[in-house]
Amino acid sequence: MITYNRLNYSDETLRELFRAIVKPRIIEEKMLNLLRQGKISKWFSGIGQEAISVGATMALEEDEYIMTLHRNLGVFTSRKMPFLKLFNQWQGNENGYSKGRERSFHFGNNEHHIVGMISHLGPQLTIANGISLAHKLRKENKVSLAFTGEGGTSEGDFHEALNVASVWDLPVIFVIENNGYGLSTPVNEQYRAESLIDKAKGFGMEGVQIDGNNILAVYDTIKGVRDYCIREQKPYLLECMTFRMRGHEEASGTKYVPQDLISEWAKKDPVLCALLTYARCSSSSLIRARSHALTSRSSFA
Ligand SMILES: Cc1ncc(C[n+]2csc(CCOP(=O)(O)OP(=O)(O)O)c2C)c(N)n1
Ligand SMILES: [Mg+2]
């Protein structure tokens, strides 16, 4: 279980966070069914990692840019991208965001201030630098936020981006989603540092490691980090500890992942823990939360 500290957040804020974290899970459950039925051909799952995408997005202003990767469905839903267009995207239809050129998470949208990846791991981090440099030069009080997996931290771009952000005093939030695996490579074969947050010191920036499955911890930390980056005009590194509950992508499976690790992390499911704590969950309240998440008007805007 996860222990939540609601701090001084209002009931309304908690409700908003709660609805936002349920949405990507419902979509994923649907997509996994469609995949089994052969109606979609590829899916990168963020199940178990929703608190990071959702908490981070909700903590920023709507016009602050986010650089997404392949497991950040919660960013797209929390920025209230219209479901119809999103589903068209994943079907590879011409009405999707990438106009039928591909059918996955390699897309963004300026209107929603999301810069999508083009599959390569690393460049998102330096793009965030560019956006934050523009904010700095225009004296706008804004941050940009870039995601990376722990695997992506072994890319040269990670080091270049963090170094430049530090030297140029750029207000960027770098978020590592440490989910234990990069494809089939576990973290103990990926790096020798005790924790990735130790690298912040090497770049001369502040950083903190947090529980990435606790939506309130993610939300509250990123709100504070955002204030810091704007006030001090400096970057910040966040390591969110989480777990990849499914395969790298759905076709690859999880045979190489020890079952007890999956079972252990299942107890810290970010959506179920939030439901059990805040919905005082019975199955009927779960159903109500789900139907609200799917039918709230803004989702279909
Ligand atoms: C430069 C580059 N190298 C390799 C890949 C292939 N690739 C895509 S995702 C991935 C694993 C990434 O692991 P991690 O950064 O931990 O993110 P996760 O998939 O765990 O979310 C790899 C190797 C790529 N897209 N880009
Ligand atoms: Mg990983």
Q: What are phi and psi of 39, to 5 degrees?
A: -90, -20
Catalytic member of 248, 290, 292, 297: 248
Residues near ligand 1 with C-beta < 6 Å?
A: 71, 119-122, 149-152, 155, 177, 179, 181-183, 244, 248
Query: Mean pLDDT throughout 273-290?
Result: 67
Q: Quick one: pLDDT at residue 292?
A: 54
Residue 38 reports pLDDT greater than 80: yes
Q: Quick one: pLDDT at residue 225?
A: 98
Q: How far is the CA of 151 from the centre of ligand 1 (A)?
A: 6
4 noted as active-site residue? no
Distances (CA, A) of 265 to 97, 103, 179, 256, 259: 33, 29, 10, 16, 10
Query: Mean pLDDT throughout 58-79?
Result: 98
Q: Quick one: pLDDT at residue 286?
A: 58
Hey, is 48 helix, strand or coil? coil
Q: How far is the CA of 182 from the centre of ligand 1 (A)?
A: 6
Q: Which of 118, 183, 114 is nearest to 154 (CA)?
A: 183
Tens digit of each residue's pLDDT (9 = 90 or more) over 88-140: 999 999 999 999 998 999 999 999 999 999 999 999 999 999 999 999 999 99
Catalytic member of 113, 135, 244, 246: 244
What confidence category does residue 301 fall into, taking pLDDT thresholds of 50, 70 and 90? very low
Q: How far apart are CA 233 and CA 166, in angstroms?
A: 10
Task: Please name the residue ranges forming H helices in 93-214.
Answer: 123-137, 156-167, 198-203
**By alpha-carbon position, which residue is closest to atom 22 of ligand 1?**
183
Q: How far is the CA of 4 from the centre of ligand 2 (A)?
A: 25
Q: Quick one: pLDDT at residue 59?
A: 98
Q: Quick one: pLDDT at residue 299?
A: 34
Q: Of ligand 1's atoms, which has the minimum distance to the CA of residue 69?
A: 21
Residue 212 reports pLDDT greater than 80: yes
Catalytic member of 6, 36, 101, 256: 256
Q: Quick one: pLDDT at residue 277?
A: 86
What confidence category does residue 285 fall into, taking pLDDT thresholds of 50, 70 and 90? low
Residue 287 reports pLDDT greater than 70: no
71 noted as active-site residue? no
Other C-beta atoms within 10 Å of 131: how many? 23
Query: Mean pLDDT throughout 275-299?
Result: 57
Query: Mean pLDDT throughout 33-37?
Result: 92
Q: Quick one: pLDDT at residue 76?
A: 98
Ligand index nearest the alpha carbon of residue 71? 1
Q: Quick one: pLDDT at residue 298?
A: 35
Q: How far is the CA of 98 from the centre of ligand 1 (A)?
A: 21
Q: How far apart are CA 163 and CA 57, in angstroms?
A: 24
256 noted as active-site residue? yes
Q: How far is the CA of 235 from the centre of ligand 2 (A)?
A: 22
Domains of the chain, start order? 11-300 (3.40.50.970)
Residue 31 reports pLDDT greater than 90: yes
Query: Mean pLDDT throughout 281-297?
Result: 53
CA contacts within 13 A on the Cβ side of 176:
30
Q: How far apart are CA 259 and CA 203, in angstroms?
A: 36
- Prediction pTM value: 0.94
Q: Of ligand 1's atoms, which has the minimum distance to the CA of residue 155?
A: 1
Residue 196 reports pLDDT greater than 50: yes
Tens digit of each residue's pLDDT (9 = 90 or more) over 213-234: 999 999 999 999 999 999 999 9
Q: Quick one: pLDDT at residue 293?
A: 52
**By alpha-carbon position, which residue is closest to atom 24 of ligand 1?**
120
Q: Give residues whose Cβ lies within 5 Å of ion ligand 2.
A: 149-151, 179, 182
Average pLDDT over all residues of the chain: 93
Ligand index nearest the alpha carbon of residue 118? 1
Q: Of ligand 1's atoms, which has the minimum distance to the CA of residue 122?
A: 1
